[in-house]
Amino acid sequence: MKQFLTCVFLIAVTVSYGQTTSWEAIYDVPQGKKGIRGFTKLINKDSNNAELYWRRGYEYYRTNQYRSAILDFTKAIAKDTNFNHSNVLADRGLAKEMLGMYAEAVDDFSNAIAYAFTQDTTIPQGFEKYYFHRGRTKFKMGDKLNAIKDLDSSLIWWTQHYHARKLRAMLLAATGDFQKAMDDYNFLLFKWNGNGEFSIDKEYAIDFYWRGVTKQNLNDSSYLKDFEIASKLNYKKFKPTDLRGL
């Protein structure tokens, strides 16, 4: 499944002071390594533009150059703390997460949440993303219970958050809360997806396995089928570090 960073290319709410680069020039920049070169050229002409550093940071993230991404996100914050502040903080947190800098990532996600609460919460501020990112990172730190609490918060802000509910189902099963885990699996398959079953694809091996664990503990004999499918899909013991920031 194609992964996405939180800083999807939306029109920013605010524009950094002194910006001279046109929207056309920004949107003409391609993705990936060519994007890095393109934004570097724009930065050379407009070095105080926070958005350009943010967007180049995104391209560094896309190409797995996480330390360079962190530097650019930090520069964007330094140039203009009002520019898309929560998103930039969260994006920096994602890059730190990928480097295993979990405590620092949690700090960035927490600061993104805190800043978002200073804005108008009657319009979308991204809380569902920030809580999801923080919960996933806490899970990587071995803190399953607080990870679940953050996933709960993510789903309060957006009940349809597929990845938050999917991860919560697994963590609920792993911590022995099997009925709630089953409720999440049923939501995913009947209310969110609608077809009643996961696709028979390697990506879902982990879901068949943990749903099997859940069913087994709820005395549902169909758990055997879930384990069989997980085995055919070459399910292997899951490592929290396998999770990539979305």
The pLDDT tens digits of the residues spanning 182-199 come to: 999 999 999 876 678 899
pLDDT higher than threshold 70 for residue 245: no
The pLDDT tens digits of the residues spanning 3-57 come to: 444 443 333 433 333 456 778 888 889 899 999 999 999 999 999 999 999 999 9
* pLDDT computed for residue 205 by the predictor: 93
* pLDDT computed for residue 28 by the predictor: 85
Give the dihedral sign, CA 75/78/79/83: positive
The pLDDT tens digits of the residues spanning 154-190 come to: 999 999 999 999 999 999 999 999 999 999 999 999 9
Tell me how crowded residue 31 is: count the other CB atoms within 10 A of its CB: 13
Task: Please indicate whether residue 77 or residue 21 has the higher confidence score (pLDDT).
Answer: 77
Spatial separation of the C-alpha atoms in residues 86 and 125, rounded to whole Å: 8
* pLDDT computed for residue 11 by the predictor: 36
In the CATH hierarchy, which fold is given to the domain comprising 1-125?
Answer: 1.25.40
The pLDDT tens digits of the residues spanning 132-147 come to: 999 999 999 999 999 9
* pLDDT computed for residue 21 by the predictor: 78
CATH no. for 126-246: 1.25.40.10
Contact by Cβ (8 Å): 66, 98: yes
Spatial separation of the C-alpha atoms in residues 117 and 122, rounded to whole Å: 10
pLDDT higher than threshold 80 for residue 238: no
| H-state helical runs in the chain | 23-27, 32-45, 50-62, 66-79, 85-98, 102-116, 127-140, 144-157, 162-174, 178-186, 205-217, 223-232
The pLDDT tens digits of the residues spanning 98-129 come to: 999 999 999 999 999 999 999 999 999 999 99
Domain(s) labelled CATH 1.25.40.10 in the chain stretch across 1-125, 126-246
Q: Which residues contact 102 (CB under 8 A, 6 or more apart)?
A: 96, 137, 140, 141
Mean pLDDT of the chain: 89
